[in-house]
């Protein structure tokens, strides 16, 4: 199970950040997702793995500047 802002969902072997977002069915265009201490940006969502038991934060908007 992976925890996101209190939402729980099923984890499966080989799950990527892109898989996770699909599963959440959240239409917001996230630019960055933090998986434990690693910051994953959009271009890497397809290849970044989500290990079992990860703490995931969906970062809503990059403020910057």
Partner 1 sequence: MTDLKVREIKRLAYERPPIRRGYANQTLYVNISDSTISCKPVSEKMKETFVGGKGFDLWLLWNAVNSRTRWDSPENALCIACGPLGGTPIYPGSGKSIVTAISPTTGSVMDSNVGGFFGPYLKFSGFDALEIQGKTDVPTVIFIDGINKQVQVLEVTGLPEGAHEISEVLTNHFGQGKPRNISVVSSGPGAKHTLIGLLNFSWYDPKRSRARLKQAGRGGLGTVFADKGLKAIVARWDTVTLAMNDPADEAALKEVARLHSREIMEQDPKQNQMSMVGTAHLVPIMNDYDLLPTHNFRYGRHPDASKVGMDVYRPLFDKGYDGCWMGCSLACSHGVKDFVPTTGPHAGQKVYVDGPEYETIAGCGSNHGIFDPLHIIEMNFYCDNYGLDSISVGTSIAFAMECFETGLINKTHTGMDLSFGNKASALEIVHQMARGEGFGKMVGQGVRRMKQIFSREYGADRAFMEDIGMEAKGLEFSEYMPKESLAQQGGYGLALKGPQHDEAWLIFLDMVHNFMPTFEQKAEALHWFPLWRTWFGLCGLCKLPWNDVVPADNKQTKEPAKVIQHVEWYTQYFNAVTGKSLVPADLITMSEKVYNFQRILCLKMGYGRREHDAIPYRSMGPVTVDEYESRAERYDKQLKEIYAVDTDGKDTAEKVKTLRKFREERYEQLKDAVYERRGWTHDGIPTLDTVRRLGIDFPEVLDVLQAHGVA
Contact positions vs partner 1 (CB under 8 A): 5, 28-29, 31-32, 34, 37, 39, 41-44, 57, 59-65
Q: Which is nearer to partner 1, 13 or 25 (CB)?
A: 25
Q: Which is nearer to partner 1, 1 or 63 (CB)?
A: 63
Using CA atoms, how far residue 3 sits from 23, 24, 32, 57, in Å, is 13, 11, 16, 8
Q: How far is the CB of 65 from partner 1 (least distance, A)?
A: 3
Residues 17, 58: contact at Cβ < 8 Å? no
């Amino acid at each position: 199970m992976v925890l996101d802002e209190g939402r729980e969902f099923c984890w499966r072997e080989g799950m990527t950040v892109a898989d996770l977002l699909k599963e959440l069915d959240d239409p917001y265009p996230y630019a960055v997702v933090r998986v434990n201490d690693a910051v994953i940006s959009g271009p890497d969502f397809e290849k970044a793995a989500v290990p079992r038991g990860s703490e995931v934060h969906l970062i809503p908007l990059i403020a910057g500047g």
